[in-house]
Amino acid sequence: MANRFWNEYQKTIADDHYFYERSCIRQTFFPGSETAFLRMLREELNKDIFDDFRQHTCTGIGYHTDLVPLETTMTVVARLFSLMTEHGYENYVPSCVTSFGVFTEMVHMWQEHPELLDKTRENLYKACKREFNIPKNIAHPSDVIYHFRFELAEKMKYRLVNRFTGKPLKVVEHIGCHYAKIFPDKGVGKAEFPYVLAGMIEAWGGEVVDYPERRHCCGFGFRQYLVQENRGYSVSNTKKKLESMEPYEPDFIVSNCPGCSMFLDRWQYTIAEMEHKTYDREGYGIPVLTYEEMAGLLLGYNPWELGLQIHQVQSERLLDKIGISYDPKEKYKAADGRILRAPEKPENLLV
């Protein structure tokens, strides 16, 4: 009976042949995560995934900041689908949770209002002389990793276990609002029983922290962050989450959405500098990883190629707990091997 109900909380995730769409935010703050995802698909899982140089923004941030009209976003989405169609793919994998929500919304509207689909086809042809098919499957990259979590586990060098105590690491997971709140059926576990990241954590040896504000927004708020004077909204929401998770003493946070990953990291720095408050015992903050970084670390990828050094909350203490080896001298080296001067240290947050 329980399985029958749980089946309703699953989604279909394609097995192979994906068209990858990059994310403005993930490229900006976590470029190593996109690289790691493609590497995992191609090298660990032997899957086919295509990365077209002619892609561009989906306009998702502009759409939710009410700067880009619906008909425009719809046609921009159609152009991205036309690239997928041109290359013979049917499975679309957008790297951003906001994009995932936008694509899902546009497809939903086309299904509900076929006249809008006709109009979009007309607009796209008029603007770009292009045609498109609607993807057969739209999955967030985390869905794909979740789908292959056991296959990846077999290749992993490390597990989410504290090597000093032998106990599972306590992990806070955050799926991001637009992953499943707009279209709950499109997310693993829907909005109320988030399982896309929890499934990875459990399969890889960790323990999920189920804290009261688990489903609360990270606080991005689009215009509430993008306008400097509104940012109190954003930091307040992150603070609410941090206060709620603090008593559980999580070892790290893993996030689905690139924006959420950035905010959960940067607002910890801000709160430490403004209020001398950190949410771990020692004053270093709680490390925040993207799911690609979490998987990549366990597969033995170099932390400094994943980009952990460009997080503000540093992660060496977590790497030590897992037993991941790393070379501290490599951390601030340029790609050509030059040693760069390290970033300034924050006044309060320990790094």
Partner 1 sequence: MGNLIDIIKSDVRYEDSLKACMNCGICTAICPAAEFYDYDPRRICDTVQRGDEEQVEKLLRSDTIWFCGQCMSCKPRCPRGNIPGAVINILRKVSQDMGYYKESYMGRQQVDLMGVIGDNILNIGYCVHPDVVFPEKHPEQGPVWEWYIKNIKAVSPKFGANYHGKGAGALREISPETMEELRNIFKVTGGMDFHDNILNGPHNE
The correct pick among 13, 14, 25, 254 for binding partner 1 (CB under 8 A) is 25
**Which tokens hold the place of 150?**
């056991």
Q: How far is the CB of 161 from partner 1 (least distance, A)?
A: 27
At position 196, the amino acid (one-letter code) is V
Q: Which residue pairs, CB below 8 angstroms and at least 24 apart, start in 52-58?
A: 52/19, 52/83, 52/87, 54/83, 55/21, 55/22, 55/80, 55/83, 56/80, 57/24, 58/21, 58/94, 58/96, 58/98, 58/99, 58/102, 58/103
Q: Which is nearer to partner 1, 109 or 203 (CB)?
A: 109
103 part of the interface to partner 1, by CB under 8 A: no
Binding-site member from 62, 137, 320, 350 for partner 1 (CB under 8 A): 62
Residue 41, helix vs strand vs coil: helix
Q: Which is nearer to partner 1, 142 or 268 (CB)?
A: 268
What residues from 283 to 342 belong to the interface with partner 1 (CB under 8 A)? 304-307, 309-312, 333-336, 338, 340, 342
From 9-17, 30-38, 143-151, 196-204, give the range in contact with partner 1 by CB under 8 A: 30-38
Contact, 199 vs 150, CB < 8 A? no
In angstroms, the CA 71 to CA 68 distance is: 8
Q: What is the H or E stretch that residue 289 is in?
A: strand 288-290
Q: Single out the segment in contact with partner 1 by CB under 8 A; choices: 46-54, 131-139, 147-155, 276-284.
A: 46-54
**Window 165 to 224, contacts with partner 1 (CB under 8 A):** 177-178, 180-182, 184, 190-192, 215-217, 219-224
Identify residues 223-262 at the interface with partner 1 (CB under 8 A): 223-224, 226-228, 230-233, 235-237, 240
- Tell me the closest approach of the beta carbon of residue 206 to partner 1, in angstroms: 25
What's the closest the beta carbon of residue 344 comes to partner 1, in angstroms?
4
Q: Which of 11, 60, 160, 175 binds partner 1 (CB under 8 A)?
A: 60
Residue (153 or 226) nearer to partner 1, CB? 226
Size of the site for partner 1 (CB under 8 A): 97
Token output for 34: 């996109």
Could you give the angle at the alpha carbon of 185 between the alpha carbons of 21 and 141, nearest 5°?
25
Share in percent of the chain as helix, strand, coil (round to 5): 50, 10, 40
Which tokens belong to 216? Answer: 């609360």
